[in-house]
């Protein structure tokens, strides 16, 4: 009835893997440590066996560097800074430094991004809107490097620990706010439909309309991406028509600012002629004119939660159960929304 000792959870030892791969144990070690001086074919063979046997480096073997890896799909994101701050806060308290990287286009021949991480031996990896494929997951797992996905774009999978926000609730709250002000013709601009966070926001918007008995008009829902330019371009389309909506729920704050620009260009005043709600509550939302009503996504707190979770996973002796945490979004009412006129 005793719990299994860590060693017993190993399905194969390093020596057994070496034997099966027909290489020496130090060669397997080199692969585990992400060293460059291993032939690509050997590396793949060893990685495959590590994966097949579910090999996990034991804690005693894993000398960790005082680092946390923070990986963005691309650093262009306007809210990257909020996330960096959150991870930095937790890392500092734990005496760790943050290694920043981009997964997009980072690959060097023969050595993947995950190899580089394995070579660094950080305490953990936080991935922001980046998907980890199965072989990358296996690679990190075999090195006992825990990872957490923050705000996953897609479905991170049931066994991937992740931190998100209540996107659906946020879309619901934003749209209810507009309905309560008296709007019934409410447009929406979405983020990319492949991102679950984006779909969830629009689904919340629909749910608010439907539960209020307001029919959903598909022509008022524009599919975009999360950049300023999409808000501007699709904002022009939405607002430059006879039956324009009196309010728009934008997919995020940057889109909302693009929408501001479109409204200015068309000579429409915010909120008199059109109300606008954003999503994220970036610092800039307070500074624009008029200050933006938006759904606050607690990005810094989410990043802190992700960093704490990844450190907790690193301390755990056993493989942890799957963990998914969603932090609450909240509506912040400023001056870009008002009752419809006329």
Shortest Cβ 109–a second copy spacing (Å): 11
| Of residues 287 and 321, the one with the C-beta less far from a second copy | 287
Q: Of the candidates 92, 241, 319, 324, which one interacts with a second copy according to CB under 8 A?
A: 92
Q: How many CB atoms lie within 10 A of CB 246?
A: 21
Q: Is 257 in the site for a second copy (CB under 8 A)?
A: yes
Q: Of the candidates 2, 243, 287, 321, which one interacts with a second copy according to CB under 8 A?
A: 287
* The token pair that represents 236 in the structure block: 């022009």
Q: Is 100 in the site for a second copy (CB under 8 A)?
A: yes
- H or E segment at 171? helix 167-181
* The token pair that represents 77 in the structure block: 């994101």
CA dist., res. 139 & res. 229, Å (int): 38
From first CA to last CA, the distance across the chain in angstroms is 75
> Which regions of the chain does DSSP assign to beta strands (E)?
67-72, 97-102, 124-128, 147-150, 162-165, 186-190, 221-223, 247-249, 275-280, 293-296, 324-327, 330-332
Shortest Cβ 37–a second copy spacing (Å): 14
In 3D space, the residue among 283, 292, 281, 284 whose CA is nearest the CA of residue 259 turns out to be 292
Q: Which stretch binds a second copy (CB under 8 A): 158-166, 192-200, 212-220, 287-295?
A: 287-295
Q: Is 302 in the site for a second copy (CB under 8 A)?
A: no
Q: Is 301 in the site for a second copy (CB under 8 A)?
A: no
Q: Is 247 in the site for a second copy (CB under 8 A)?
A: no
Spacing of C-alpha 219 from chain mean position? 29
Q: Is 66 in the site for a second copy (CB under 8 A)?
A: yes
| Of residues 84 and 149, the one with the C-beta less far from a second copy | 84
CA dist., res. 252 & res. 195, Å (int): 13
Shortest Cβ 11–a second copy spacing (Å): 32
Segment 196 to 235, residues that bind a second copy, using CB under 8 A: 228
- H or E segment at 303? helix 299-315
Q: Which stretch binds a second copy (CB under 8 A): 125-133, 161-169, 237-245, 259-267?
A: 259-267
Task: Summarize as ranges the residues that interact with a second copy (CB under 8 A).
Answer: 65-67, 75-76, 78, 80-81, 84-85, 88, 92, 95, 97-102, 105-106, 108, 116, 119-120, 228, 254, 257-258, 260-261, 264, 283-284, 287-290
């Amino acid at each position: 009835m005793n719990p299994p000792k860590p060693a017993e959870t190993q399905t194969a030892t390093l020596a057994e893997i070496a034997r099966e791969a027909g290489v020496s144990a130090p060669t397997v070690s080199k692969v585990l440590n992400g060293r460059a001086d291993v032939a690509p074919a050997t590396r793949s063979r060893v990685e495959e066996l590590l994966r097949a046997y579910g090999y996990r480096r034991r804690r005693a073997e894993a000398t960790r560097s005082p680092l946390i890896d923070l990986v963005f799909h691309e650093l262009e994101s306007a809210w990257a800074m909020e996330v960096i701050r959150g991870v930095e806060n937790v890392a500092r308290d734990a005496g760790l430094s943050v290694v920043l990287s981009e997964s997009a286009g980072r690959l060097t021949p023969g050595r993947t991004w995950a190899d580089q991480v394995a070579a660094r031996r950080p305490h953990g990896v936080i991935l922001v809107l980046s998907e980890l494929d199965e072989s990358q997951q296996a690679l990190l797992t075999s090195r006992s490097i825990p990872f957490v996905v923050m705000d996953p774009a897609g479905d991170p999978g049931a066994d991937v620990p992740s931190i998100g926000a209540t996107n659906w609730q946020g879309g619901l709250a934003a749209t209810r706010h507009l309905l309560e002000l008296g709007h019934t013709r409410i447009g929406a601009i979405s983020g990319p439909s492949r991102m679950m966070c984006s779909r969830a926001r629009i689904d919340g918007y629909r749910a608010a309309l439907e539960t209020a008995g307001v029919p959903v008009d598909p022509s008022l829902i524009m599919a975009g991406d999360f950049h300023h330019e999409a808000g501007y371009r699709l904002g022009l389309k939405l607002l430059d028509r006879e039956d324009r909506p009196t309010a728009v729920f934008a997919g995020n704050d940057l889109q909302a600012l693009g929408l501001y620009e479109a409204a200015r260009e068309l000579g429409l005043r915010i909120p008199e002629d059109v109300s606008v709600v954003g999503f994220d509550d970036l610092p800039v939302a307070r500074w624009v004119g008029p200050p933006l009503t938006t759904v606050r996504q607690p990005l810094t707190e989410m990043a802190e939660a992700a960093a704490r979770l990844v450190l907790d996973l690193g301390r755990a002796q056993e493989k942890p159960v799957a963990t998914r945490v969603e932090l609450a979004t909240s509506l912040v009412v400023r001056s870009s929304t008002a009752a419809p006129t006329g």
